[in-house]
Structure 1
Amino acid sequence: MDYTDLYINGEWRKTEDRFDVINPATEEVLASVASADIPDADAALDAAEAAMADWAARTPRERSEVLRKAWELMTARLDHFANLITLENGKAGVDAKGEATYAAEFFRWFAEEAVRADGLITHAPASGARIVVQHKPAGLAVLVTPWNYPAAMGTRKIAPALAAGCGVIIKPASETPLTMLALMPLLEEAGVPKGLVNVLPSRRTGALVDHIMHDPRVRVVSFTGSTGVGRTLLKSAADQILKPAMELGGNAPLLVFEDADLDTAIEGTMLAKMRNLGEACTAANRIYVHEDIAEEFTRRLTERMSALKVGDGTDPSVDVGPLVNASTRDKVAEFVSDAVAKGAKVECGGTTPNGKGFFYPPTVLSNVSQDAACVHDEIFGPVAAIQTFSDQEDAIKRANDTEYGLVAYVFSEDFKRAMQVCERLDYGMVGLNRGLVSDPAAPFGGTKQSGLGREGGHEGMLEFMETQYISASW
């Protein structure tokens, strides 16, 4: 692998301490990557501070053009990034190409948003003063990204931060740091100044990120990952009163009503469940199907899931690659064993294969009990857990019965009923007759324990800006 050292101030920095990145399909070592420590973090902070002074002073159009160039360059190299994603994350080639395309789009979207940090001038009704409101770069941002989307979770944070005028320090997941490191030469070519973006892979994530967050120059922390880790980071953020942007865990319900178009519902369920092999906070975790159509829905979903080809994602004929590591695979297997022990029926899959690689087959479970562990926790794997319902009110109540509130899915051909159901679901996002909600142009985020703030859309850039109000008379 070409880029395996720390990236600080536009230079590659070696360290004595390193860690291995494993190919989840073969369990072979892909690369040995530098592991950052506190002095490296301080160097990155100094670099980002120096670079931000000039970057924030540039016109929005100048920043926009750099981001637009990054989109053009990444779009021209999608196959390269898709291959790297497959090697370190395991996802199949088509899925990896989809992520690379999605990741690049954040550069284009925020290139357009960079020039739209609109303010306000108005006349105060009582005092007669003028109210002038503008948005300014918040300051340095620390970005902590997960392993399930090695490219997209980084660009979803880098692009709005740069559009807003901020410098950043990125801590990528230790399982998948290679994609983010490989992105840095592309950003250099696009015109991103040295020091503005710094990448610190590390095995000492907790200590490193905590140190960075307690530096007074840091004003924003943006994290994607588990709710448990998010709580820890929020406690650290409180010490410095940092702006938090937290995209945390999910437990997505997918509701299929009796009037749903089954072709649409099956396609949507396959996308909501199997995109990224189910290793996504947006993955359909609890599938509620009206009892009148449950048998037909289960049969058709089982046919589709059974037909998927499992294997090394570098093979273009493969639909489903391995899970990211052994612990993730084993947790998925435990969810299935628990559900079966509590009365679930295995319609397909359900058995861990022998041999190398962290593979688990696409699995459909019917008759899943409400007390099954997979109903209350993220499966994060290719397991569709089906329950039935007969009453709309009961379905809504069960869908909302979770501490999470990231995304829900609704399938119904009665638009009035469907919209009423959507509005009663306590989720930040709802897919209506769609199995995909993620879009760079839309505000991505959840309610309750699923996070704070939004990524994407116009809101995504404002997470990296402060609102300033000037009272003036003229």
Structure 2
Amino acid sequence: MEGDEKALMREQAFIGGRWTGAPDDDRREVSDPATEQVIGHVPELQSPHVEEAIDAASRAFETWRCTSGVERADKLLAWYEGMHEHAEALARLMTLEQGKPLAEARGEVDYAASFLRWFAEEARRATGETLPPEDPAFAIGTTRQPVGVAAIITPWNFPLAMITRKAGAALAAGCTTLVNPASQTPFSALALAVLAERAGLTNGEFNVLTCAGKRFSDTACADDRVRALSFTGSTQVGRQLLRQSADTVKCTAMELGGNAPFIVCDDVDLETAVDGAIAAKFQTSGQDCVAANRIYVHRSRYEDFIQRFAERMNAMDVGNGFDEDNEIGPLINRDAVEKARALVDDARDKGARVIGRDQGEAPGARFFMPTLVADFTTDMRVSVEEAFAPVAAIRAFDDDDEVIAAANDTIYGLASYVYTQDDARIRKFLRNLEFGMVGVNTMDITGPHIPFGGVKQSGLGREGAHAGMEEYLETQYYCIGPKR
């Protein structure tokens, strides 16, 4: 580990602008998923620590909410500059604890930083309205007010970007934040805290708590001072958090599971569609909520597509993310490998063709060789479960109505992809696909300027874009009557 990485890698939590440790017997190991070697330890905070952080964030809110949009923007921009200054160290730290290939980690650093710049700009634009009164002696309108302390629970697959996308919006709105990063990837979050501290967020505006997710959520959800909760993770956990938040009627934002369809019509350039499908499936080793899970290809192009996809898939290098040649890294833990194996075995037992290299070639216990499950049917687990692994399922379709119905046959509604050159077809898919996001002839659907989010059981609310601050702002109406 190089000097810059060591400076960013903190083995303490960040509460109220102070670095907080824990006794040796209250610490948690963090391991490199590629080698399974321990890379460090973080405090296993208890409920009193969470309460301490809520106290700090509540005190900080009384000051932070009164700062101008310009002041908030300046600190977010300083944080953004810090991320760029230390981009390589952040990327290497991410690969170390998360496993993704270094090229992808570098891309995530840029992506994560872009949210800080975006919301720095949006901080100046949280404006209300002047409304026309029925009586000209009155003045009426609205202002936007920050909701208060925001609890933020983030996943391990994008350990930087999921924090900046949420915390950037909350801080820009005038809220203070409590971040509970995934237990597998705390060091990326703590590196962000180092840079936030250097940017001037030193009074409890931004807190990072390394503790069990349930302990954090139980304490935060029960405390009425925590007025907003933002979560990215599984639909199952999201449902539980919504139930917990109901008692104190919190503002909630949920980015939950996905089961993205990738539709290839008969009029496409097949190489372009294969390029898109490979990228949409295998980024982050398939551990991505917008990853293509179910690929539907028009029957007239089906076997040709399978051949080209399989050739590309089987040529992908699998291994440690620090090797610049590798395109697929490890899965986050051995349980993920076992789930991937079970999905493939279930499909094979039910008649699917399984295409790919032998799993015996996997370079370690947490690796899974990329696999294509052809001719999947709706009774197979790969049809209904989010794989979160380099496992793609594919089947043929005959007409647009059929594939739209098949694509929509899921409880999820996050991302979807369509490849066609026909404008009328595009409009039909956009009207009828039940997904919050539709990529047409592209898989590149994310960025700070887009409203990221899903429908159905894929979540509530939107992150990024102008909508990103809405979860952290309340509309206050005022009516000023004439003086008597």
TM-score by length of 1: 0.97
Could you say which residue in structure 2 is the equivalent of 1:14? 21
What does 1:31-180 align with in structure 2 at a 5 Å threshold?
A: 31-125=40-134, 129-180=138-189
1:466 equivalent to 2:447? Answer no
Give distance in 1, aligned partners of 2:384 and 2:442: 23
SS of the equivalent of 1:249 reads coil
Deviation at 1:370, TM superposition (A): 2.2
Quick check: 1:30 aligned with 2:39?
yes
Give distance in 1, aligned partners of 2:327 and 2:33. 15
1:247 Cα offset (Å): 0.4
Kept in 2: contact 1:349–1:364 (CA 8 A): no
- Which amino acid is the alignment partner of residue 349 of structure 1? R
Structure 2 counterpart of 1:454: 462
The answer to whether the aligner puts 1:192 opposite 2:201 as a matched pair is yes
Structure 2 residue aligned with 1:423: 431
Deviations 1:224-256 (A, max 9, x none): 000000000001110000000000001111111
Counterpart of 1:5?
12
Task: Please give the residue correspondences for 1:249-260 in structure 2 after superposition, counting only pairs within 5 Å.
Answer: 249-260=257-268
1:367 to 360, 363, 375: 375
CA distance in 2: counterparts of 1:72 and 1:263, whole angstroms: 39
**CA distance in structure 2 between the partners assigned to 1:466 and 1:260 by the alignment:** 46
Q: CA deviation at 1:352?
A: 5.1
**1:250-294: CA deviations, max 9, x gaps?**
111111100122222112111210111110111111100000001
| Distance in 2, Cα, partners of 1:366 & 1:448 | 27
Moved >6 Å (runs of 4+)? none
Q: CA separation in 1, counterparts of 2:427 and 2:446?
A: 19
Matches for 1:340-355 after TM superposition, within 5 Å: 340-349=348-357, 351=359, 353=361
- 1:51·1:193 contact (CA, 8 Å) conserved in 2? no
Which runs of 5 or more structure 2 residues have no equivalent in the other structure? 1-5
CA distance in 1, matches of 2:113, 2:249: 32
CA RMSD of aligned residues (A): 1.4
Distance 1:40 1:307 in 2: 49
Q: CA deviation at 1:59?
A: 0.6
Q: What's the CA shift for 1:350?
A: 5.7
How does 1:378-397 map onto structure 2 within 5 Å? Answer: 378-397=386-405
Q: Is the 8 A contact 2:263 2:417 kept in 1?
A: yes
- CA distance in structure 2 between the partners assigned to 1:147 and 1:193 by the alignment: 25
- Alpha carbons 1:131, 1:472 under 8 Å: kept: yes
C-alpha contact (below 8 Å) 1:333/1:352 kept by paired residues: no
The one-letter amino acid paired with 1:10 is G
Once residues 210 and 117 of structure 1 are traced to their aligned partners in structure 2, the CA distance between those partners, rounded to angstroms, is 31
Q: 3-state DSSP class of the match of 1:286? A: strand
- Greater shift, 244-253 or 12-21, is seen at 12-21
Residue 211 (str. 1) matches residue 219 (str. 2):
yes
SS at match of 1:44: helix
Equivalent pair of 1:6/1:35 in contact (CA under 8 Å): no
Q: Distance in 1 between matches of 2:204 and 2:228?
A: 17
C-alpha distance 162-352 of structure 1, shift in aligned 2 (>3 A): farther
SS at match of 2:355: strand
8 Å Cα contact 1:336-1:350 kept in structure 2: no
Per the alignment, in what secondary structure is the counterpart of residue 384 of structure 1? strand
SS of corresponding position for 1:404: coil
% same residue: 44
**Is the 8 Å Cα contact of residues 25 and 90 (structure 1) preserved in structure 2?**
yes
Could you state the TM-score of these two structures normalised by the residue count of structure 2? Answer: 0.95
Structure 1 position 106, deviation (Å): 0.6
State the 1:348 CA deviation: 1.6
Distance in 2 separating the partners of 1:373 and 1:464? 37
Deviates more, 1:304-313 or 1:342-351: 342-351
Deviations 1:207-236 (A, max 9, x none): 321111211111000000000000000011
CA shift, 1:43, in A, is: 1.0
Give me the whole-angstrom Cα distance separating, in 2, the residues matched to 1:463 and 1:208: 20
Which has the larger displacement, 114-123 or 127-136? 127-136
Seen in structure 2, the aligned counterparts of structure 1 residues 3 and 129 have a Cα distance that, compared at 3 Å, is: same
Q: How far, CA to CA, are the matches of 1:352 and 1:226 in structure 2?
A: 30
- Between the aligned partners of 1:407 and 1:472, the Cα distance in structure 2 is 45
SS at the partner of 2:258?
A: coil
Pick from 228, 232, 238: which aligns with 2:236? 228
Residue identity in the other structure for 1:166: C
Sort the Cα spacing of 1:350 and 1:426 in 2 relative to 1 into closer, same or farther, 3 A. Answer: farther
2:237 aligned partner, one-letter code: V
Higher mean alpha-carbon deviation, 231-240 vs 355-364, is at 355-364
Match of 1:402 in 2: 410
Q: Spell out, residue by residue over 1:34-85, the C-alpha distance to the aligned partner (whole angstroms, 9 max, x if none).
A: 1111110111111111222211111101101111111111112211111111
User: Partner amino acid for 2:250?
Assistant: L
Q: Give the C-alpha shift of residue 125 in structure 1.
A: 4.5
- 8 Å Cα contact 1:362-1:382 kept in structure 2: yes
The whole-number CA distance in structure 1 between the counterparts of 2:205 and 2:472 is 14
Deviation at 1:473, TM superposition (A): 3.6
**CA drift at 1:355:** 5.8
Alpha-carbon deviation of 1:368? 1.6
User: Aligned pairs, how many?
Assistant: 473
Segment of structure 1 superposing worse, 162-171 or 68-77:
68-77
1:310 aligns with 2:336: no
Q: Distance in 1 between matches of 2:358 and 2:149?
A: 46
- What's the offset of the Cα at 1:127? 8.8
How many angstroms does 1:422 deviate by? Answer: 1.8
Matched, 1:289 2:294: no
C-alpha contact (below 8 Å) 1:333/1:351 kept by paired residues: no
